[in-house]
Amino acid sequence: MKIVLASDHGGFDLKESIKLHLAELGYEVLDQGCFNQQSVDYPDYGVLAAKKVLEESCLGIIFCGTGIGISIAANKVKGIRAALCHEEYSATMARCHNNANILALGGRTIGVDLAKSIVDAFLEADFEGGRHQRRVEKIMKLEEGR
Ligand code: RB5
């Protein structure tokens, strides 16, 4: 299974740790950068990740200092539902109820072990559909200006 990753410099270290974690679990990682700690602009990487997730029809995980900026940017791309999570329950619900296709994490706000646990929760959960489908469709209609 493919997983798209992307970060700015503030999320770079955590991205690298999660990349190793995903490789150990057998995922194929599609790393969209950045590739070192040099300062970059998080919207560029949020959009790169978002487009790759849509192209590959897979899930993504994005990182910046707080996870806020890069998730805001990714959510501007039609078809993306990026969820910023700080604990496992939200990550599970982001998949089960919101059909989130991107998880956003803050490299400066959470530790590596918690991040791994949040990633596992996100990847192990599935969208439940049903009444949640109707609600997600309402979000998608907003993207059409309806
Ligand atoms: C970069 O310094 C920082 O602003 C960025 O990583 C992120 O936290 C923005 O939301």
Q: Which of 34, 70, 72 to mutate to test the pocket of ligand 1 (most atoms within 8 A of CB)?
A: 70
What is the distance in A from the centroid of ligand 1 to the CA of 71? 11
First to last CA, the chain: 34
Give the pLDDT confidence of 20-62 residue by residue, as tens digits.
999 999 999 999 999 999 999 999 999 999 999 999 999 999 9
Domains (ranges, CATH) in the chain? Answer: 2-143 (3.40.1400.10)
Binned at pLDDT 50, 70 and 90, residue 146 comes out as confident
What is the distance in A from the centroid of ligand 1 to the CA of 42? 7
pLDDT at 125: 98
Is 9 a residue of the active site?
A: no
Rg (CA), the chain: 14
Give the pLDDT confidence of 81-112 residue by residue, as tens digits.
999 999 999 999 999 999 999 999 999 999 99
pLDDT at 120: 98
Q: Please give the model's pTM, rounded to 2 decimal places.
A: 0.98
SS3 84: strand
Distance CA 135, CA 19 (A): 32
Distance CA 3, CA 29 (A): 5
Rounded average pLDDT over 52-75:
98
